Amino acid sequence: MRAQIWLSLAATAAILAACGQKTEAPAASNQTASTPAAPSPPAANPFDTPEAKKALAELPDAYQKADLQNGQAQFAVCRSCHTLNKGGANMTGPNLYGVFGRKAGSVDGFNYSDGLKALGYAWDADKLNAWIKDPKSVVATTKMSYVGMKDDKNRTDLIAYLKVASSGAAQ
């Protein structure tokens, strides 16, 4: 029994001693230890295209300097119910490709609430802003269970991203 305790203590001591030691990664085969690795080229920005810039220019001034990458990240919440690609399927929510300028409640094959169908207007940045902020304040009887996005900057970025992505201007 005493031997087992001593072995256990010795093993624990060895593990604890090893914790403070540094380990070095092996050097790359084509580099010496003193030669730094070349930096990777920056990833291409899929929103830095003439088409994306044109789409943004069609929006009000408040959206001109939006962070499209943040807008894309904000769309992750929407993605569980909406597709955004041309010809994309309706899911729990309608496909959003071409949403700007489209009459609210008009995607063929999607079952909208009567309140949304009765809006009678086409989606633009201001109307989408109100909708995304608080859908139930726009249509109290909406079927959309989304509670809204209260942060102004995230909403601005999301709407600018929607404009670019829903027009096919993003790569």
In terms of DSSP H, where are the helices of 33-91?
50-57, 68-78
| DSSP-assigned letter for residue 31 | S
- Return d(Cα 80, Cα 75) in angstroms, integer: 9
Do the Cβ atoms of 155 and 171 come closer than 8 Å?
A: no
As its CATH architecture, domain 50-165 has Orthogonal Bundle (1.10)
In terms of DSSP H, where are the helices of 20-104?
50-57, 68-78
83-100 confidence digits (pLDDT tens):
999 999 999 999 999 999
Lowest mean pLDDT among 17-31, 58-72, 114-128, 133-147: 17-31
Do the Cβ atoms of 85 and 169 come closer than 8 Å?
A: no
For residue 103, give the 3-state DSSP assignment.
strand
Tokens standing for residue 114: 């009567």
- Return d(Cα 103, Cα 112) in angstroms, integer: 12
Tokens standing for residue 132: 């995304």
pLDDT greater than 60 at residue 141? yes
- Return d(Cα 121, Cα 28) in angstroms, integer: 61
Q: Is the pTM of this model over 0.75?
A: no
What are the residue boundaries of the structural domains of the chain, listed by start? 50-165
What is the predicted pLDDT for the residue at 14? Answer: 41
Q: Considering only residues 47 and 106, tell me which one the structure prediction assigns the higher pLDDT.
A: 106
- Return d(Cα 60, Cα 15) in angstroms, integer: 63
| DSSP-assigned letter for residue 122 | B
